[in-house]
Structure 1
């Protein structure tokens, strides 16, 4: 049995006992017992998550969110932040389990609750509001509303930029993450140029952070950003080619070619090879002339650079 399960199973049993005792107290004295029941349910949901008991975890979080909603009616300052956090956890579980519509609704409610909490105490809850907006952007991107995903992404990024002004070390890495989230939402909404600006800025932010001596900490984020940037440029080149805009297609191809000279990922190089091959096959004369005008040299016949071993 894994170490985590050996520790979590007895913890679950203890948490379930605490929930049972708190239910009894809440039935006899709601004012005293319901806050204890909420704390016990929160603890139980945590241990159920560690045990991958998905259905039980979701059930506990549903009850917890409902309980915090009731408590927040009379004491919003004390319980609304807990309600927002419970709804956020519930949204995660529902999305994981495939209940996407319910997950989106829980996420929206969490944003509303965090927004009210942040209005009372911005320093404490604006970071959480930005995080939940970013989560909601990701979930809405591929579901009900790409435009809403863009709006959530923009707000999450704006809050994070503002927070980074006074706490750069804590929030500048999150700025890069939220630039990437917004970029993907913009792509899904059909704004490739806006997405390109986000991915390029995210790369700049990450390289600056890596230049401060924390290179390994941001390697994965940089790789994800460069991959998204390459795919965006490849898509832009294809769209311009299809529309007969050779000069614009070459601009995207030039960006992709330059990217392969500063990126080692095989997916980046594959995007470059694919884009150049399609351009050569689809409009060789127009692209060749546009490349010659822009670069003063013939369209390259070979663009792949093998990553270092």
Structure 2
């Protein structure tokens, strides 16, 4: 957890960076190809594993640098030949030196078998990247035909859904229904995120663009979470709530100890906190042991001033987190900061 609960980039101080992930064959590249035709993406840089996977033959205007092409839409498209951090640093330097056109957003497409957690960890902890980029939105594509089987068989597919800020449901046209069972499974893994059919997945709907919009989406995610007490599923949603303000230092100590003890089994944590000494709600948003900088929302919804926490866990007894929380805090109000 960051030491300062209110650390946040000033508006415009960092370049928003979004990630498109999803299991093998789920339509990441098809989605990206369509997004690249959107005029609103014209000031974006796109990083992919191989340029050849993007249908750029009819879109490319010129080669700007080695492994960097300028598309007709105005987007930069770059091949990640090795390390993601090195690629982002180089791209930023090229932007400063005028070697590539200026861009105001970066979109990264991961490989289908990628565990998104290390990617998030890298983007949220590298000091040089944190000065230049702000992790904005994680978008996950899910195959409507094969998604249920993939979620049962592959831990990577589960993590890709759990970390998502937006979910795109692909290949619905190949099914005879609206995939109700898959939608229910996705809601159980990631409450508050409503899957978008691929034909409705526009850049405006997928990318948050501003911290305010991202935090409002996070608050909605927490408000719509439903505790999953099913005993047969290894993935559960655990919800906590208290009307007593929390001491920030005590809370972060507790959360740090919890993640230290159970880190790999806690896939996602989001929350809206009533912090003692603060008039406005503080939001936290983390993937395993890595957290976005905590931020404040503008105001509490009327009649809803209370701490709400949601954990998504895998292979962790459902009583573990609630028992730990209530043992530490009980009904006590937190001391002022």
TM-score of the superposition, structure 2-length normalised? 0.29
Which structure shows the higher helix fraction? 1
**Larger relative contact order (Cα-Cα within 8 Å, sequence gap ≥ 6):** 2
TM-score of the superposition, structure 1-length normalised? 0.31
